[in-house]
Amino acid sequence: MKTLRGDHNLFIRVNKDGSKALKIRPFRWTFCILLALAFILSYKQDVQVLEGSMIASRLMGFHMVDLFSGLEVIAAHGKIATNLFMGFIFVAVVYFILGGRSFCSWACPYGLLSEWGEILHKKLVHAGLIKKRKKITTSWKFFIALCFLASSYFSGYLVYQYINLVGITSRILIYGLLETGIIVLFMLIIEVFFYQRVWCRSVCPSGATFGLLGKVSLIRIQADITKCDKCGACTPECHVPEALKVVFAKDAQPTVFITSTDCTMCGKCMDVCDKQVFSYSHRLKKLV
């Protein structure tokens, strides 16, 4: 692999002309960590800025709720409280603008742990200690989401919340509930040694729900196909490489938006591409 692409550096990208630029990754990691710290400070120091967890919270008193968790409440109880409904709508609007599964790579605490697990896996493979992992299809997550909703509907319980790694990781960080950490550790071991990002790719109903917004969201990653030489360097770096199929399609337009429900808006395609094919853009400019 060419060192020109700067893959060896976590935070700096080297462009084809030799210029250097800060990758998207440090911005994502910083935002995710600051978000977690805001929850922790609100609980530990009674700051009351961002209270609750990543599943249900209040931003300076205004309610927010994870979209799938809101759907699960409706399925289990047949109704949703006014504040919960307002929080559901607010979050839906935010991610309609920001890009569907951007939650997964910019806000989700387990998503960050999973990405660190990805880095650990590559180091272990490079050292010859383990082999590369298998991938499970991404389409399973929609079936799993429907199964959880059906389970909540028939049982009257929020079934998914018992194993929701997003909520569990968030509560461990905020409240120190370490006894639930075994579930998170178990999944990380599976991801590092056996299956690539299996929770985020194939299981998480929250990611599946946010992903549906990605088909219509305003801000998306745009690819300038005229700059692309089809080298494929972006594919192994992408959290969900299937999302990049549109870039390599034979009938691709000069510029295309990546609207896959799998795209997490992580920007790793930008981080690795020395030809600056990819960029954040919005679809409103087509209307102007």
Of the two residues 9 and 281, the one the predictor is more confident about is 281
Q: What is the pLDDT of residue 4?
A: 38
Contact present, 138 and 242 (Cβ < 8 Å): yes
If you average pLDDT over residues 99-107, what whole number do you get?
92
How much is the pTM?
0.90
Asked whether residue 279 carries a pLDDT value surpassing 70, the answer given is yes
Of the two residues 225 and 250, the one the predictor is more confident about is 225
Phi, psi of 107 (to 5 degrees): -130, -35
Of the two residues 232 and 8, the one the predictor is more confident about is 232
The predicted-structure confidence for 198-235, as pLDDT tens digits, reads as follows 999 999 999 999 999 988 899 999 999 999 988 888 99
Q: What is the mean pLDDT of the chain?
A: 90
Contact present, 263 and 243 (Cβ < 8 Å): yes
The predicted-structure confidence for 165-192, as pLDDT tens digits, reads as follows 999 999 999 988 777 889 999 999 999 9
Asked whether residue 16 carries a pLDDT value surpassing 80, the answer given is no
Q: Where does residue 78 fall: left (phi above 0), alpha (psi -120 to 50 degrees), or beta otherwise?
A: left
If you average pLDDT over residues 109-114, what whole number do you get?
96
Residue matched to tokens 């997490």: 264
Asked whether residue 8 carries a pLDDT value surpassing 70, the answer given is no
The predicted-structure confidence for 131-161, as pLDDT tens digits, reads as follows 888 888 888 999 999 999 999 999 999 999 9
Contact present, 156 and 76 (Cβ < 8 Å): yes
Q: What is the pLDDT of residue 9?
A: 82
Of the two residues 126 and 14, the one the predictor is more confident about is 126
